[in-house]
Structure 1
Amino acid sequence: MPDYFTGRSKAWIAYKIFVLIVSIGALALTAFSQTPEKCFRGAVRDAAGAVVVDAEIVLKNAAGKTIDRTVSDAAGEFVLGCVEKGAYTLLISKNGMATVEKKIDFAGERPAVSDVVLETAAVAETVTVNIEPDFVSSTTESATKTATALRDVPQSVEIVNRRILDSQAAFSLKDALFNVTAVAVAQGEGRRDQFVIRGFSAVGDQFIDGVRDDALYYRDLSNIEQIEVVKGPAAVLFGRGSSGGIINRTTKKPNVYEPLGSAEVNFGSYGLKRGMFDYGRPIFKEKLAFRFVGAYEDEGSFRAFYYQKRYNVAPSLAWKPDEKTDVTFQFEFLSDKRRPDRGIPSYRGRPVDVPAGTYYGFPGEDRITSRVSSQALRFERQLNPSWTLRNVFRRIGTATDFYNTVPGAVSLVGGGLRVARSQYDGVFDQTNYFDQTEAVGAVSTGGVRHTLLAGVEFGYQTKNSLVFRNGTAASVALVDPVLTRPVNTGVATTDNNFRADVFGVYFQDQISINRYFKALVGARFDNFKQKLDDFLPANADLGRTDRQWSPRAGLVYQPNDWLSFYASYTRSFQPSGENLSLAANNAELKPEMTRNYETGVKAAFQPFRLNATLAVFRLDRDNIKTTDPLDPTRLILVGEQRTDGLELTVSGAPLEKLDVVAGYSLLDARILKSNTISGGVSLQGKIAPLTPRSSGNLWLTYGLPRGFRLGFGGYARSKSFTSANNLVTLPGYARLDASLAWRGEKHYEIALNLKNVLNRRYYETSNGDNNIMPGAPVSGSVTFRYRW
């Protein structure tokens, strides 16, 4: 794929951004000037007057067709549908409450106001409205830790829900995040999920239900309901890290009101065999429920010698002792065994031209085994109609044992090309304990409504590391390599224990100033204590403590009910021990700092049920560690990196049978200042690694007669570089995918998914200049699914 943006100036990029904003605004204004705006708004409360959050509101026209759908926000309010005059029906439902149906004959010039009171449903009268979810997610929990409409958040947030995951047969986090703009897949040494967000590594920016999950392993998605990516620094709620953003996985949970779940089996290319079972039932109606999720996967690869075997079990229990109290206990265990694949090397600035499956490790020994156990206890109590208190405790333990042989530089030896190799192995054992206590409430002052959040977080993290990095491996031929056994000296190069004590206190105010303006302000104070005990003969024990404030401020202007303009500022910090490690040359250094300046437009195009977000941002990171020019063994805090970018996302159902999710990003990510020399090249002025200038994603499905559904889409990006020295280029590419599914009248579904249908040769990602991962050739899978 050609790099259309090479050599373009920043002024040219700014001009294009301006043109895009003006064009979208003009199109929107044109579309909505054709008919008068008539909008439904209202609030949902229970019989005691307390706000009802996450109630589902559905708007239907006189013919019974769904026009729009949303959920009530943290204040219990909703906005639905800019429509023409006529008769409409509102359906308001929430589990455990009787569904309300309201007939509205809308003929006036003012927006229709519909406040709703939901009564607790008796067992005999509980009504369940099952509406097939689409690709649209209208609220976020991750961005504010409250149920907030996306249009009210002055920050870019993207959500990949279960409907998208199932539609694409996405089993891994990597597959899921191809649907998110400005996110690039990193190789992670063939040992872990790793991503680059807006030009910055996000290796430690993983969360589960809002709690840090920064261990290095491959996640399974069988127990995941949706994935939220909050763009830009998020330390205001989540603490250290998050230069480019965070990735938060929302788990499946029991339901005390109704049964739920599904079962499926998958068969596919390279011996793929996968099964998933999800079964939840109330034990005592409206009081106690359980849910059990389990999955098993066994597959090979187009890469020689690769294998992967994993299973995941996740039982959970929900208890509702009374109407105002909810308690949830969750347990999860993951076992993952696979061959760590480091890919192929480069030569003369490009990936080597060898068959895509060529392997340069040692299959007799290379392996990685990860075992992850997680336990969580969540308590939530409604104190009064306005305030809720909640606490969550989560423990995550991760044990990893690995051995890998790594390809290196290619050189000409005796008339033939040879690939240098190295070897290292090790054991990591990490345990996280986190406890969060939060109070959420709504108050009004002089007509201004506030949704307040106050929280405190305590955490303890410990990591034992034992690594043998001095192994040697003989070079092999570039073509048809004979894979000889490496030699390991058995002398440890790393043997330590790292401990981190985390304390954070945070406050947030979501302010509804009037009908047109909303503000979001907040701050968090962190005390991050780091200590490393070294067990090597040198016994170089290290430690430091960082104390930092992380603020956020944003403003939203909503001239009407379908359009939001926003601007925001966020800041985060990256301490030396961010990823649970310290070294002699960084233990005395202050944290690196990241600042994000963002403005954008969010639109809900009605009655097309199409949501769009256009974000323009500048992301600056300074105090970056870089080599001291007077002493190459020391680091100093003078480095700077900047990403100027634009993101455009679209999701929804513009036609009755059409669902779509799409995105495009334009990034200029550069190292502005650095003293570091890599490969004989200064890093100053270079483009950030694994950050293409332009990238885009598209996935759409269309309903056909007799229960069939056709899917089509793909992913494309311009060229990128394997490392910060920009000496090796990953060519741009476009990959096309497709699907065909059939669903019976009730419970059954069969789906065929194809990836890279044109069988294009491409290179997906890398870990440095000589660990390049080729993309998979055409492949497919068949899914048999039963839902109950």
Structure 2
Amino acid sequence: MSRTTLKIPASSPRMLASAIGVALSASSAAQLAQAAEDTEQKGERNSISLGATSITGQEQDTTSYQVEKASSQKYTAPLVDTPRSVTVVPQQVLKDTAATSLQDALRTVPGITFGAGEGGNPQGDRPFIRGFDAQGDTYLDGVRDTGGQSREIFDIESIEVSKGPNSSFGGRGSAGGSINLVSKTPQARDFTNGGFTYGSDQTRRYVIDVNRQFLDDSAAFRLNLMSHEQNVAGRDVINYDRWGVAPSLTFGLGTPTRVNFSYYHMESNDLPDSGIPYGYSNNSATAVHVHDKPTDGGDSSNFYGLKDRDFRKTRADISTVSIEHDLNDNMTLKNTLRHGSTGQDYVLTQPDDSQHNVNRFGTVWRRANTRVSTTDTTTNQTDLFGNFQLAGMKHSYSTGLEFTGEETRVSGYTVSPNANPTCTVAKGSLGGQCTSLSNPTPDDAWTGSVARNYLGTNTKATSRAAYMFDTIELDPKWLLNVGLRYDTFDTQANTNAATGRTKLKDDSQFFNWQAGLVWKPLENGSIYTSYATSASPVGGLVGEGQETNSFVTGVNTSDLKPEETVNYELGTKWDLFHNRLSLTAAVFRTEKKNTRILVDSNTFQNAGESRVDGLELSASGKLTDQWQVFAGYSYLKSELVDPGKIGNRQNVVATGSNKGNQMPNTPENTFSLWTTYDITPKLTIGGGAFYVDQVYGDPANTVYVPSYTRYDAMASYKLTKNIDLQLNVQNLTDKTYYDKAYAAHFANQAAGRTALLTTSFHF
């Protein structure tokens, strides 16, 4: 049977790994002798602004955990003077923690959890920021990065997390915040960086990052390559296999006009984790469930999927052209045009206990979840930014226009049989549908069928926006920060079913704004108060999610207003120890009103409300020349103020109320600490602790995953000027914990103890 539409050669990652290895060997030998000389010759160049990215040939302290300014021109002030909570995860933190994915990287940012891909949500990254779903609020260099993805970071320089509603920055969504990935761009110096990682559970990772100047150093080319293969510690059967390439080319370095071309491609071919089923609290098939948590039958390595049936393949292709021109010393015009196409294709098992098989019979139903989806997005963004002085007050501004067209096509497979059986017998019974809770058998023969089903939904959306930002220096101690954005968002969905075609449409217009007042008692610190809004229209995920803001066939969502979120924040920021260490603190209230709630089986209304009161603390930078820290704490007191009617595990309208309950995927306390210390100029040791409180998976607070603390350790040693060794041990105590909770059926178990040894080259 033919069951894939994303054709990915199985040998591609291995071929790429071989190519990277050859490139590393060749370039290392050729450049070792000249590395020091080249660095000195390139070290005196002046800094060149290339829009959102700083291109410089002068050596900077790239090893610091502190970041002074965000990359986007929409941030019109340094972070210490920005009246909102912003966390930047720099390249050095990514390197020291051995992060390879977006989820790995965001573990260092408290207040963020990840949800599971189910209930209409695609597999991939589904972050929750301050308790609000942000799966559609990820950006790449300031442009929305659409489509369900599991994002790699081999081509990422840093990750910027803006917390609190910020639709004035990016448009629709962003109720709890947004994530901006800053890509690697050509630099005004020559270098070759690379490395290979060997680790436990057959981990093999190869990366190379090459930058070359040409045309009398007025142009530069950069190439990033990655190949990654691994199993998962403490989990049976699961494996991940991916590769990627990201070339970029810049002309006009050092001139008033710069042009950048970039392309990003990544493919993956995985046998994904099927998760651990929730164990219902008694033997009744109709019970109301209270505080049920995952149960693995006594063996945390158990895999409940089918090797003969399960797979997940993904791809991402993103092409970008940006042109930037300095109109004068104080004004720059920039245009960015991007086309992106992402897709994924999977059949995977999700262990289901809808019939209470776990406690009644010690069995699990292998429910098949399928998807074939493709998202195509074209965006043009034009920005004018700079600074001027008016009436004795300094202005740092950014203004722009944005146009985006998106289309998502979602269908899947017909898996037969895929009933909801009572599994009285395990061991591959019912054609492989059922298995044992305590001793599952992934090698069971799948005797059913998997056939491509082309019936599905096509969703299109068009958005237009105008925005402006300004930081006004009222006097040396007082700053006023304002931002405005107006959006139109038109979307329609065509659902193709065997019984006919359904067409749904919605047109929305919404205005968002932010304002913050900053007082600077000293030059290195600030105290601020701010207000910000966001709006989430119907269909805002453009077919790549199944939330209350999506079209639902057979349910009336037409003519509903966008959901509205507001944030009140009071905070302070300080740069201490000669501006080497940044400290921040903030208290806030985020209120989501006008929420779409189900009032009967066929009708939504704008009547719901939820609220989060919180506190956040952070520290990033150097305590001494040898000691670095990247830490944070988040307290989130969440409440479903008016949740409306609710659905039970079978998504049938129930009569109970969730009023006063904790919001799903919103831990009350989260804490992260990562720190390193240079024992000698060659030897560095480090470690981390990451705590996440108990998390509920559903609004009814009936299923949850327990709290956990994970510990990591690191040691690195400079063998030579150009070669480093780094050992990372993640989950040092081999803690069994769960990092994703779904509203029903299952939770995702995190990896066990993982050891990684990386050899890095830099010339």
TMscore range, shorter length:
0.7 to 0.9
**In 1, Cα distance between equivalents of 2:518 and 2:631:** 24
2:636 is aligned with what amino acid? L
> Are positions 1:765 and 2:709 aligned together?
no
> Are positions 1:452 and 2:393 aligned together?
no
What SS is found at the alignment partner of 2:201? helix
What SS is found at the alignment partner of 1:550? strand
Q: From the superposition, tell whether residues 201 and 727 of structure 1 become closer, same or farther in structure 2 (CA, over 3 Å).
A: same
1:533 is aligned with what amino acid? N
**In 1, Cα distance between equivalents of 2:531 and 2:415:** 45
Write out aligned runs for 1:626-705 (5 A): 626-628=597-599, 631-679=600-648, 681-705=656-680
- Following superposition, the deviation at residue 353 of structure 1 comes to 4.1
Of the three residues 459, 471, 474, the one matched with 1:513 is 474
**In 1, Cα distance between equivalents of 2:399 and 2:307:** 52
2:622 is aligned with what amino acid? A
Asked whether the equivalents of residues 203 and 229 of structure 2 are also in contact (C-alpha less than 8 Å), the reply is yes
- Following superposition, the deviation at residue 331 of structure 1 comes to 0.7
> Are positions 1:263 and 2:194 aligned together?
yes
Match of 1:212 in 2: 144
Asked whether the equivalents of residues 738 and 757 of structure 1 are also in contact (C-alpha less than 8 Å), the reply is yes
Asked whether the equivalents of residues 608 and 655 of structure 1 are also in contact (C-alpha less than 8 Å), the reply is no
Of the three residues 376, 379, 401, the one matched with 1:434 is 379
Match of 2:730 in 1: 755
**In 1, Cα distance between equivalents of 2:448 and 2:741:** 25
**In 1, Cα distance between equivalents of 2:714 and 2:447:** 43
Of the three residues 504, 514, 537, the one matched with 1:575 is 537
Match of 1:540 in 2: 502
What SS is found at the alignment partner of 1:139? coil
What SS is found at the alignment partner of 1:236? helix
Q: For 1:375-395, what per-residue CA distance to the aligned partner results, in whole angstroms no more than 9, with x for missing partners?
A: 000111000121110000111
Between stretches 422-431 and 768-777, larger displacement belongs to: 768-777
Identity %: 29
Asked whether the equivalents of residues 608 and 654 of structure 1 are also in contact (C-alpha less than 8 Å), the reply is no
Match of 1:44 in 2: none
Asked whether the equivalents of residues 164 and 177 of structure 2 are also in contact (C-alpha less than 8 Å), the reply is yes
Asked whether the equivalents of residues 277 and 296 of structure 2 are also in contact (C-alpha less than 8 Å), the reply is no
Match of 2:286 in 1: none
**In 2, Cα distance between equivalents of 1:533 and 1:164:** 44
- Following superposition, the deviation at residue 444 of structure 1 comes to 0.9
What TM-score does the superposition give when structure 1 sets the normalisation length? 0.81
What SS is found at the alignment partner of 2:105? helix
Q: For 1:671-720, what per-residue CA distance to the aligned partner results, in whole angstroms no more than 9, with x for missing partners?
A: 11022223365322211112111110000000012500001112012211
> Are positions 1:358 and 2:302 aligned together?
yes
- Following superposition, the deviation at residue 158 of structure 1 comes to 0.2
- Following superposition, the deviation at residue 613 of structure 1 comes to 0.6
Between stretches 422-431 and 496-505, larger displacement belongs to: 422-431
Asked whether the equivalents of residues 46 and 58 of structure 2 are also in contact (C-alpha less than 8 Å), the reply is no
> Are positions 1:159 and 2:88 aligned together?
yes
Q: For 1:322-342, what per-residue CA distance to the aligned partner results, in whole angstroms no more than 9, with x for missing partners?
A: 621111100111001112323
What SS is found at the alignment partner of 2:93? helix
Write out aligned runs for 1:98-137 (5 A): 128-137=58-67
Q: For 1:238-268, what per-residue CA distance to the aligned partner results, in whole angstroms no more than 9, with x for missing partners?
A: 110101111100000112x311341010011
Paired residue total:
666
Match of 2:527 in 1: 565
Q: For 1:629-657, what per-residue CA distance to the aligned partner results, in whole angstroms no more than 9, with x for missing partners?
A: xx322222211111110000001111120
Match of 1:53 in 2: none
Q: For 1:508-531, what per-residue CA distance to the aligned partner results, in whole angstroms no more than 9, with x for missing partners?
A: 111111110111112111010101
Of the three residues 68, 89, 95, the one matched with 1:138 is 68
Asked whether the equivalents of residues 96 and 286 of structure 1 are also in contact (C-alpha less than 8 Å), the reply is no
**In 2, Cα distance between equivalents of 1:757 and 1:655:** 26
**In 2, Cα distance between equivalents of 1:228 and 1:234:** 13
Asked whether the equivalents of residues 405 and 486 of structure 1 are also in contact (C-alpha less than 8 Å), the reply is no
Q: From the superposition, tell whether residues 98 and 639 of structure 1 become closer, same or farther in structure 2 (CA, over 3 Å).
A: closer
Aligned-pair RMSD on alpha carbons? 2.2
**In 1, Cα distance between equivalents of 2:84 and 2:192:** 33
Of the three residues 101, 104, 107, the one matched with 1:175 is 104
Asked whether the equivalents of residues 689 and 721 of structure 1 are also in contact (C-alpha less than 8 Å), the reply is yes
What SS is found at the alignment partner of 1:655? coil
Asked whether the equivalents of residues 399 and 428 of structure 1 are also in contact (C-alpha less than 8 Å), the reply is yes
Match of 1:531 in 2: 492
Of the three residues 369, 376, 394, the one matched with 2:338 is 394
Q: From the superposition, tell whether residues 647 and 166 of structure 1 become closer, same or farther in structure 2 (CA, over 3 Å).
A: same
**In 1, Cα distance between equivalents of 2:303 and 2:690:** 26
- Following superposition, the deviation at residue 94 of structure 1 comes to 9.2
What SS is found at the alignment partner of 1:389? strand
Match of 2:77 in 1: 148
2:476 is aligned with what amino acid? R
Match of 1:48 in 2: none
1:693 is aligned with what amino acid? E
**In 2, Cα distance between equivalents of 1:678 and 1:340:** 28
Write out aligned runs for 1:375-386 (5 A): 375-386=319-330
**In 1, Cα distance between equivalents of 2:588 and 2:749:** 31
Between stretches 262-271 and 348-357, larger displacement belongs to: 348-357
> Are positions 1:715 and 2:645 aligned together?
no
Asked whether the equivalents of residues 262 and 278 of structure 1 are also in contact (C-alpha less than 8 Å), the reply is yes
Of the three residues 367, 389, 407, the one matched with 1:422 is 367
Between stretches 619-628 and 520-529, larger displacement belongs to: 619-628
Match of 1:273 in 2: 204
**In 2, Cα distance between equivalents of 1:413 and 1:446:** 72
What TM-score does the superposition give when structure 2 sets the normalisation length? 0.84
- Following superposition, the deviation at residue 346 of structure 1 comes to 1.2
Asked whether the equivalents of residues 57 and 189 of structure 2 are also in contact (C-alpha less than 8 Å), the reply is no
**In 1, Cα distance between equivalents of 2:493 and 2:359:** 47
Q: For 1:23-66, what per-residue CA distance to the aligned partner results, in whole angstroms no more than 9, with x for missing partners?
A: xxxxxxxxxxxxxxxxxxxxxxxxxxxxxxxxxxxxxxxxxxxx
Match of 1:231 in 2: 163
- Following superposition, the deviation at residue 787 of structure 1 comes to 1.0
**In 2, Cα distance between equivalents of 1:295 and 1:683:** 46
Asked whether the equivalents of residues 74 and 469 of structure 2 are also in contact (C-alpha less than 8 Å), the reply is no
- Following superposition, the deviation at residue 466 of structure 1 comes to 1.0
- Following superposition, the deviation at residue 488 of structure 1 comes to 5.6
Asked whether the equivalents of residues 415 and 448 of structure 2 are also in contact (C-alpha less than 8 Å), the reply is no
**In 1, Cα distance between equivalents of 2:390 and 2:76:** 21
- Following superposition, the deviation at residue 361 of structure 1 comes to 1.8
- The runs of 5 or more residues in structure 1 that have no matched partner are 1-92, 100-125
Q: From the superposition, tell whether residues 95 and 429 of structure 1 become closer, same or farther in structure 2 (CA, over 3 Å).
A: farther
- Following superposition, the deviation at residue 772 of structure 1 comes to 1.1
Q: From the superposition, tell whether residues 565 and 268 of structure 1 become closer, same or farther in structure 2 (CA, over 3 Å).
A: same
Q: From the superposition, tell whether residues 683 and 421 of structure 1 become closer, same or farther in structure 2 (CA, over 3 Å).
A: farther
If asked which structure has higher relative contact order (CA below 8 Å, sep 6+), I would say 2
What SS is found at the alignment partner of 1:362? coil
Asked whether the equivalents of residues 304 and 440 of structure 2 are also in contact (C-alpha less than 8 Å), the reply is yes
Match of 2:762 in 1: 787
What SS is found at the alignment partner of 1:541? strand
> Are positions 1:372 and 2:316 aligned together?
yes
Q: From the superposition, tell whether residues 659 and 370 of structure 1 become closer, same or farther in structure 2 (CA, over 3 Å).
A: same
Match of 2:568 in 1: 597
Write out aligned runs for 1:190-339 (5 A): 191-255=123-187, 257-301=188-232, 302-320=234-252, 323-339=255-271
Match of 1:67 in 2: none
What SS is found at the alignment partner of 2:659? coil
Asked whether the equivalents of residues 232 and 243 of structure 1 are also in contact (C-alpha less than 8 Å), the reply is yes
Q: For 1:302-346, what per-residue CA distance to the aligned partner results, in whole angstroms no more than 9, with x for missing partners?
A: 322211110010011000076211111001110011123231111
Asked whether the equivalents of residues 173 and 221 of structure 1 are also in contact (C-alpha less than 8 Å), the reply is yes
Q: From the superposition, tell whether residues 98 and 304 of structure 1 become closer, same or farther in structure 2 (CA, over 3 Å).
A: closer
Match of 2:434 in 1: 475
